[in-house]
Amino acid sequence: MTSVFYNLESNTWSHNEIDRPKVTLGHNRLLINHISIQDQGKSTITFQVKKNQHHFGPIIGILTNEDRFPFSGNIKTFKRICKKIMNEGGIPVIFTPSAFSGTSLKCYTFCFQTKKWLELFSPLPDVIYNRIPSVLYESNEQYKQFRNKLSELNIPFFNESYLSKIGTMSLLSSDKFLSKYIPETIDLKTEEDLRIYLNKWNCIYIKKHHSAKGLGVFKISLLKDNTVSIRNAFHVELIKEIKDCWKFLTSISEPYICQQGIDSKLPDGRKFDLRILVHKKDKQFIISGIGVRVGTPGGITTHVPRGGSIIPLEELPIQLNEQLLQKIVQLTGEALNQHQGHFYEFSMDIGLHYGHYYIFEINSKPMVFDEVEIKEKGMENLIHLFYELSNFEP
């Protein structure tokens, strides 16, 4: 590794390798000047970087939006990424689409000495990691123009966007192998459809198009007296006639999918599912870790913020078929990247019913895992991905 320097007063970049007269930085190959150590000045910060011949870096851009000042997102996670990149070699910068121009961007990096975010002006990133925390933001016109500009500049970019439940389930259902692991998904068009499928399965799940963290999910169950219970993630339960349930469904303002209710349960009756963190590495999609989430008795979701809990994988009283799970992960990654964009990091919620696996959900902006081992391995594979996409040796 070597060093590059940024002067906070003049907003200029420099290096101190005297035997390299021409050194570039960033995707647009900004030529930076040589400067001696004694001439650097007090307002200079130092980055340890890697070398790819005369190109130093990489500059790793973490993309978010500006709902909060100076930017939105999981600040704790951003700091963890910054620290790891700085230790391994590279320049981590946080930026928003509005701060992006065709040749540079106003951005922020974290100074661990002063424990403050510093504002920088940087060349274009060598790779961009999308962590925008808003579905609505990704659908606005400004963001679309920004995304088109990145495509024109050919800057490596992932993860493309939030995934819609409708589009994702449709995509996976069209794959001959993966379709076997999707809960049966139906299009409810009439009250009679609702009645037929409740009688057939006894339970269905309604999932809004962009629901997340268990919100926007409803469990509809047929009771013995032919009434229907409707439960949400907050354990609120309504008992209705089927005709009233149909009125409730027709009142939902956004698109949703309807799926067969799958009982993925532990021997003690609690609902559980597997949370699988996935990263692309050397053209393969690998499992960075498997977490286990367990719901409350009678709960419809296993999400920890909704009352779910975590148990170690070693304590799961079920033997997993890891070879099959790896195949499901690999083919899912291939399908997403063939049809949806660039998704090199994602998580999967997978259930198990009588020995058969079911894909419940795929998340292109995975939440941080609580398990230390998964968190560390995921970070390791993410950093490897940054180097792979920016053409720097890990």
**Domain limit, last residue, from 193, 225, 260:** 260
Read off the pTM. Answer: 0.90
Residues 45 and 86 in one domain: yes
Residues 208 and 282 in one domain: no
Could you tell me how many residues make up the chain? 394
Residues 242 and 374 in one domain: no
Residues 28 and 138 in one domain: yes
Q: Which residues form the domain of 84?
A: 2-158
Structural domain count of the chain: 3
Query: CA–CA separation, 343 vs 360, rounded Å?
Result: 18
Per-residue model confidence as pLDDT tens for the chain (394 residues): 999 999 999 999 999 888 877 899 999 999 998 876 656 667 889 999 999 999 999 999 999 998 777 888 899 999 999 999 999 999 999 999 988 888 889 999 999 989 999 999 999 999 999 999 888 888 888 888 999 999 999 999 999 888 888 888 889 999 999 999 999 988 888 989 999 999 999 999 988 876 665 567 888 999 888 888 888 866 667 778 889 999 988 888 788 889 999 988 888 888 899 999 999 998 899 999 999 998 877 666 676 766 678 889 998 888 999 999 999 999 999 999 987 789 999 999 999 998 999 999 999 999 889 999 999 999 999 999 999 999 998 8
Residues 178 and 323 in one domain: yes
> Residue 26: which of 128, 119, 110 has the closest Cα?
128
Per-residue pLDDT, 36:
66
Residues 287 and 249 in one domain: no
**Domain limit, last residue, from 243, 260, 277:** 260
Other Cβ atoms closer than 10 A to 140? 13
Residues 76 and 24 in one domain: yes
Query: CA–CA separation, 150 vs 265, rounded Å?
Result: 45
What are the CB-based long-range contacts (under 8 Å, 24+) for 234-239? 234/306, 235/296, 235/298, 235/299, 235/307
Residues 295 and 329 in one domain: yes
DSSP, collapsed to helix, strand or coil, labels residue 116 as strand
Residues 315 and 176 in one domain: yes
Residues 86 and 194 in one domain: no
Per-residue pLDDT, 125:
97
322: which 2 tokens? Answer: 């890891």
Residues 367 and 279 in one domain: yes
Q: What is the DSSP letter of 180?
A: G
